[in-house]
Amino acid sequence: MLNINSSKHLPARVLTPSLDGTNELDFSSKPNLDISRKVLEKFSHVAQSAVKASAKLFLKDFGKAKNIQIKNNDFGNLVSRADKNIETQIRKIIGKNFPTHKIIGEEFSKDKVKPTDLVWIIDPIDGTTNYIQGLPFACISLGLWQGNTPLVGVVLNPITEQLWTAVKGQGAFLNQQKLHVSKKHGLNFTYGGFGWGRNVKKAQINFPKLLPILHKVRTLGSATLEMCLVAQGVYDFYLQNEINIWDFAASALLVLEAGGEITEINGQPLTASTTNFLCSNGHIHQHMLKEFKKAVLI
């Protein structure tokens, strides 16, 4: 059983975000990826410590979240006290251990980012509505990127005590068990997920187009965890129509390191600025992209 309380709280400071109002994220250039395996493993160790240290905050309000706020007058975009407390905790731990690294989080200001910067990307609770309602399909997500390249991914579901981890070039794991995507070929018996963010109009247009193409489709309310299901070989694919980087920063690497494939829906490579994507076991990827093009997904 995973011991989510194994990491001690680390006193630390928070990196000061950009206050110029732009919060410009420049991932356009190729990064310097000359980072040793030992250094990457250290990054992963600290990331795991950070999410484990935040597990108590997550569990404290699960199913009884307090001080819930609505972002931008959008009732589908909720934030709880736990979201803010968890992100603050993770920022402190990362800032203490890596004071020169940059941080992007869903709930607070973003650092200005250059292509060569090492950037930690936090989603304190992915699946916030599930979390508030008491549905145990929500998680803490923490990824490290440089430019458009994911280097470290850590995802923790404190309720089920599942910890997914990946380091570039070293495979993907669930509670230290190595992961592999499914081996399914062809679309007749595919099983996977579809998410639309908060754009209901796109969902209403695209979902009927998907049903004739795909065998079984699920919508579970956490892009991060549904991508983890692809890495585990439970899902054969996951399609997301509207997304932010913190929703896939950790889980994208899990899919890739488990042998899967991720691109934008138009077939272009995944980047830090991607807003839609298809991730799959790789075997069905091109076939799905071809069918999506014929169906004219928007």
pLDDT digits (tens, 9 = 90+) for 189-244: 899 999 887 778 888 888 888 888 887 899 999 999 999 999 999 999 999 988 89
Residues 46 and 119 in one domain: yes
β-pairing, 191-195 vs 177-178, is unpaired
Residue 187 near residue 291, CB atoms below 8 Å:
yes
Q: Which of 144, 178, 212 finishes a domain?
A: 178
Measured CA to CA, the distance from residue 18 to residue 21 in angstroms comes to 7
Contact 44, 154 (CB under 8 A): yes
- Quote the CA–CA distance of 91 and 59 in Å, as a whole number: 19
Q: Reading across the β-sheet that carries 177-178, which strands appear in turn?
A: 102-105, 118-126, 139-146, 149-157, 162-167, 172-174, 177-178
Asked whether residue 58 carries a pLDDT value surpassing 50, the answer given is yes
| Bridge partners, 278 (sequence order) | 239, 263
Residues 91 and 61 in one domain: yes
User: Mean pLDDT across the stretch 144-164?
Assistant: 97
Residue 1 binned pLDDT confidence (cut-offs 50, 70, 90): low
In the three-class reduction of DSSP (H, G, I as helix; E, B as strand; rest coil), residue 25 is classed as: strand
How many domains are there within the chain? 2
pLDDT at 281: 98
What mean pLDDT comes out for the span 144-162? 97
**pLDDT class for 67, splitting at 50, 70, 90?**
low
| CB-CB neighbours of 115 under 10 Å | 17
- Over 50: is that where the pLDDT of 9 sits? no
Question: Of 143, 178, 213, at which residue does a domain stop?
Answer: 178
Pair (204, 165) in one structural domain? no
CATH number of the domain residue 94 falls in: 3.30.540.10
Is 52 a residue whose pLDDT tops 60? yes
Give a yes or no: residue 23 inside a domain: no
Q: Are residues 42 and 170 located together in one domain of the fold? A: yes
Final residue in a domain of this structure, among 178, 209, 229:
178
CATH number at residue 253: 3.40.190.80
Question: Does residue 24 lie in a domain region?
Answer: no
Kindly report the pTM of this predicted structure.
Answer: 0.86
Tokens of 201: 């109009």
The pLDDT score that the predictor gives to residue 2 is 61
Give me the domain span that covers residue 83: 37-178
